[in-house]
Amino acid sequence: MNSLKINLNHKLLLTILFFLFIGELSATAFRARIFSRKKSAGEANVRVLIFETKKAYVTDAEGYFDAEVPEAGQYTFRILRDSGIQELKKSVSQEGEVITLFTDEVAKPKGGIDIEGQKDKTILSRYKVRYDEIKRMPGTLGEALNGLQTLPGIFAPPFFGGGNTSCLGGLVIRGSGCNTNTYLYDDLPIFYAFHFDSINSVIHNDLIKTIDVYTGAYPANFANATGGVIEIESTETTKKRQSSATLSLLLGQAMYQTPIFNGKGYFAAGGKVGWLDKTIGSLGLIPEGIRLPQYNSSNVKFVYNFTPQHQISFTSLTANDNFVANFSSKPINDPTQDVLSTVAGARVAAGQAFRTLGLRYTWTPGTNFNNRLTLINYEPIVKTNVKFGSIEADFLAKAPYTGLRQDLSWTVAKFLKVEAGTEYRVFSYSVSGFGVQQRDPNNFSPNPYNTTNPDFEKRDITQKTQSNYANAYSTLKFSFGNLRIEPGARYDFVGYSNKGAFGPRGLVSYKFEGIRKGLTIFGGAGDYFRYPFFDQAISRESGNPNIDFEKARKYGGGVELQATDEWSFKTEVFKQEFRNLIVDDPFISEAFGLNPDKAQWVTKPVVTNRSLNYSNKGSGWAHGYELFIKKSNRPGTKDWFGWISYTWSQSFRNRNQYSPDYDLSKAPLSGEEARIRSLFPNTREIIFENDITHLLSVVYGWRINEDYQIGGRWIYRTAFPYTPVVGDDGGQFRNPTNNQTYWNPTYSNNPYNNDYINSRRQAPYARFDIRFDKFLNYEWGYMNLYVEVINIFMRENKQGENFDSSRPYSRTNPVPQDDFYLLRPPGSGFKSPFFNIGMEVRF
């Protein structure tokens, strides 16, 4: 292992040495504008002092001045006038930023070109992450968006390892399903925020300005999420040309941004390529049963301001992920399910990708009104390649849409601001490629491993379903002094199934000024819903065309105390009730229809009780409380920062179906009798597969001096539940060509014993990561070298269990699945923490 490490470091060291030469310190330069809303113009020739650096500047004819601060953070700007001193506080988040300091109080319009982007945002269940805080957080393997996992209520299920592997880089927010969140980049949809490795995001770090995470009751302008909303805001402007390149063991990324057309426009482009499988993967250190992803992504943004009132922008985002994985079989022992999923040893090579194009026109006629029109073309893609035995299914599923969206914000009066919007989309769900089907439908014990005379064959499953969708929302923001009341409503309509959903929501908050730096109490609730646009459930051929929206009712409330300028405490209690959840339903049918098996259209074209496969029977709930203690950096000083986030939660689900598992009589029934029983659901609540009782994150960062920074992160969480394997099928399948026997795991079908679904947990998961950064500053920019050691205590965390299909069930099969973050060369007992080395060059 040591020799391996030296080998890797060797090459990197050479590269670093190549670049080493001494340069001078480079601070964070930015541009600021002193702007008066009343006059709708910049204030010329005023003196401005930045208190922390004690440097003074004079504004030009348009109110601009260029300044420098030692590092990103919050600063106090004092505007020195004859009539007195005006003090304003503003944060500088990154190099080359343009910030605006408003000298009078008028409500901010949304999206105007001079606005930095500090929107009037809700305090309930929202966490704003500043880019500079999470940019160099340890344990994130160089990926800023990964820092979200340390916020309360957010759990990122491990991609690598056993247990539930269907999340694929998603997030579980307050006990909601991992595919029920909405990810937005500048209000444009993105399919997923993280690449397959749950480590790297699809957006280049340096093009992110802020990330807002709404974990509970969110405002009406966001759609289609019963979980949470993650809104990424991108940088909108820059003072001078900038570029950067980052290289690490896991990926490479590059960024370039520049003002164009004499400052009237802005262009930015960024890209990432992941090569985890070629670096660490090829060293043979990754535990058995895990495969590695390959991915790439790009983002391009172009902004042009015709005049201060009219702005257009164009954004393009793409991402592409592929991987090969070894999945254990689906942990539901239900013979009415698809026969494919009960056969273990399935190998899935899958990929997902998306492309988003957005063309936006913003009109800001004055300070009270702002309207935005956006034309969006979005295409999410999922590629699946399932291989079991000798049979392969290879298909592509897409759900593209083209839509036009309008958002306006209007300050009606001093105490009222109205936000409203509409959207219309034309969308479709399509599948193209080959699925697997049994050759002879009357063969009731097909052998998927028979390669000489296969019982399965490829069947074309191409299909397309089209529809349209429209929505409208409106939020009224009342503010009476320190009291804020924000009722809102949203209505969504899907033309295809003629289904609509109306969701009212409201937020109330009150701030007590006298208590320390401000004590705010807040509360809110609302009805939220989600339509499964990208799900087989809506397919006309293989799904249920009448499927309805999934719904959630959320409640939350809490207290936030800003104790000092640096310390803040926030605690929140939440409850979520889910209903109309989409479940696989083996009973739901319509009176008659075309035979789903197209091969039988000659002999049996029409069937009765034509299956619909999915229904909205599921329900569930989640509740818990959160605690968040944060210490921010005191600007201008080499101080430490960090936070502690703790979440206690419980989450349950119920399929609300008839299950023969709960039926004490196991006698065979006719179809008629089974259908009658299906009208009387008997399933009970089962703990949610991503239920995490305790989730604790402690983050600490300290910029020692200009050259060095150190950070640490400790995570502790309860393990997620999994379904234990209780036996095997006796090796009933065997491949006749090579006489290889396959043993498939079996699971308990008795809900009254303690082996049933989601009844086990491994030991709690704990991990301590540190990161060490060195900065080398030059005239042209700076270089940042970092070393990250993950799982420094080398704790052998386990994630679910792994069953080897080539052996029967025994004391050693299944074994707990090792966590990804511990390197073990095969054959030796040696283990080492996971490590990452990287370099970022900014110029």
Partner 1 sequence: MKRIFLYSLLAIVLQCNNSEKNSQQDYQTSYRNRILLLYLARPTPNPQTACINSTTSSGACIIKAPDRDKVLSAVLTQEQYTVSALTLGRLSTYSAYCTESINNIKFPSNPQARAQVPSDSLLECTFNCQKTYWDTALRVGSCEKINTQLLFTDSVGKGITSCVVNCNRQTNNSLN
Position among 606, 708, 754, 774 found at the interface with partner 1 (CB under 8 A): 606
| Reduced 3-state DSSP string for 133-183 | HHHCCCCCCCCHHHHHHHCCCEECCCCCCCCCCCCCCCCEECCCCCCCCEE
Quote the least distance from Cβ 441 to partner 1, whole Å: 8
470 scored as a contact of partner 1 (CB under 8 A): no
Kindly state the tokens that stand for 284: 């043979």
Contact segment (CB under 8 A) with partner 1 among 227-235, 360-368, 601-609, 768-776 equals 601-609
Q: Would you call 279 exposed, middle or buried from its count of C-beta atoms within 10 A (0-12, 13-18, 19+)?
A: middle
Contact segment (CB under 8 A) with partner 1 among 17-25, 560-568, 613-621, 714-722 equals 613-621
User: Strand 463-480 vs strand 456-460: parallel, antiparallel, or unpaired?
Assistant: unpaired
499 scored as a contact of partner 1 (CB under 8 A): yes
318 scored as a contact of partner 1 (CB under 8 A): no
Contact segment (CB under 8 A) with partner 1 among 202-210, 232-240, 540-548, 686-694 equals 540-548
Q: What is the largest CA-CA distance in the chain?
A: 95
Residue type at position 525: A
Q: Given the complex with partner 1, which of 39 and 604 has the nearer CB atom?
A: 604
Contact in structure between 408 and 370 (CB atoms under 8 Å): yes
601 scored as a contact of partner 1 (CB under 8 A): no
Contact segment (CB under 8 A) with partner 1 among 14-22, 280-288, 514-522, 605-613 equals 605-613
472 scored as a contact of partner 1 (CB under 8 A): no
DSSP string, 59-125: --TTSEEEEEESSSEEEEEEEEETTEEEEEEEEE-STT-EEEEE-S--PPPSS-TT---------TT
Quote the least distance from Cβ 524 to partner 1, whole Å: 24
At 540, is the secondary structure helix, strand, or coil? Answer: coil
Position among 342, 615, 777, 802 found at the interface with partner 1 (CB under 8 A): 615
474 scored as a contact of partner 1 (CB under 8 A): no
Alpha carbon distance 525, 23 (integer Å): 55
Tell which positions 649-708 bind partner 1, by CB under 8 A: 665-676, 678-679
Quote the least distance from Cβ 546 to partner 1, whole Å: 4
Alpha carbon distance 813, 829 (integer Å): 20
239 scored as a contact of partner 1 (CB under 8 A): no
- H-state helical runs in 608-707: 671-678
Q: Given the complex with partner 1, which of 312 and 669 has the nearer CB atom?
A: 669
Contact in structure between 500 and 493 (CB atoms under 8 Å): yes
Quote the least distance from Cβ 608 to partner 1, whole Å: 5
238 scored as a contact of partner 1 (CB under 8 A): no
Quote the least distance from Cβ 544 to partner 1, whole Å: 7
Residue type at position 39: K
Q: Which residue has the tokens 């919007």?
A: 421
Contact in structure between 657 and 633 (CB atoms under 8 Å): no
Contact segment (CB under 8 A) with partner 1 among 448-456, 607-615, 712-720, 746-754 equals 607-615
Q: Given the complex with partner 1, which of 150 and 616 has the nearer CB atom?
A: 616
Alpha carbon distance 104, 450 (integer Å): 78
Residue type at position 785: L
Q: Given the complex with partner 1, which of 543 and 745 has the nearer CB atom?
A: 543
Q: Count the site residues for partner 1 by CB under 8 A.
A: 46
Q: Given the complex with partner 1, which of 561 and 588 has the nearer CB atom?
A: 588
The site map against partner 1 for 106-145 (x = CB under 8 A) is ----------------------------------------
169 scored as a contact of partner 1 (CB under 8 A): no
DSSP 194: B
544 scored as a contact of partner 1 (CB under 8 A): yes
607 scored as a contact of partner 1 (CB under 8 A): yes
Contact in structure between 254 and 285 (CB atoms under 8 Å): no
Tell which positions 730-789 bind partner 1, by CB under 8 A: none
Alpha carbon distance 646, 151 (integer Å): 8
Contact segment (CB under 8 A) with partner 1 among 416-424, 473-481, 595-603, 792-800 equals 595-603
Quote the least distance from Cβ 666 to partner 1, whole Å: 6
| CB-side neighbour CA atoms (13 Å) of 563 | 10
Quote the least distance from Cβ 592 to partner 1, whole Å: 8
Please give the distance of CA 492 from its chain centroid, rounded to a whole number.
Answer: 23
Contact in structure between 656 and 617 (CB atoms under 8 Å): yes
262 scored as a contact of partner 1 (CB under 8 A): no
Please give the distance of CA 658 from its chain centroid, rounded to a whole number.
Answer: 34
Quote the least distance from Cβ 610 to partner 1, whole Å: 6
For residue 5, give the H/E element and its range.
helix 2-19
Alpha carbon distance 841, 586 (integer Å): 56
The site map against partner 1 for 427-466 (x = CB under 8 A) is --------------xx-x----------------------
Q: Would you call 39 exposed, middle or buried from its count of C-beta atoms within 10 A (0-12, 13-18, 19+)?
A: exposed
Alpha carbon distance 67, 65 (integer Å): 7
Contact segment (CB under 8 A) with partner 1 among 376-384, 422-430, 519-527, 612-620 equals 612-620
Position among 608, 740, 806, 810 found at the interface with partner 1 (CB under 8 A): 608
589 scored as a contact of partner 1 (CB under 8 A): yes
Position among 336, 753, 754, 806 found at the interface with partner 1 (CB under 8 A): 336
Q: Quick one: which of 382, 318, 375 has its CA closest to 349?
A: 382
What distances in angstroms separate CA 446 from CA 302, 394, 397, 440, one per listed residue? Answer: 56, 20, 27, 9
Q: Given the complex with partner 1, which of 499 and 831 has the nearer CB atom?
A: 499
Quote the least distance from Cβ 532 to partner 1, whole Å: 15
DSSP string, 384-424: EEEEETTEEEEEEEE--EEEEEEEEEEEEETTEEEEEEEEE
Quote the least distance from Cβ 419 to partner 1, whole Å: 23
53 scored as a contact of partner 1 (CB under 8 A): no
Q: Given the complex with partner 1, which of 159 and 614 has the nearer CB atom?
A: 614
Q: Given the complex with partner 1, which of 490 and 717 has the nearer CB atom?
A: 490
Contact segment (CB under 8 A) with partner 1 among 54-62, 273-281, 494-502, 830-838 equals 494-502
List of residues contacting partner 1 (CB under 8 A): 336, 441-442, 444, 497-500, 502, 544, 546, 548, 586-591, 595-597, 604, 606-612, 615-617, 665-676, 678-679
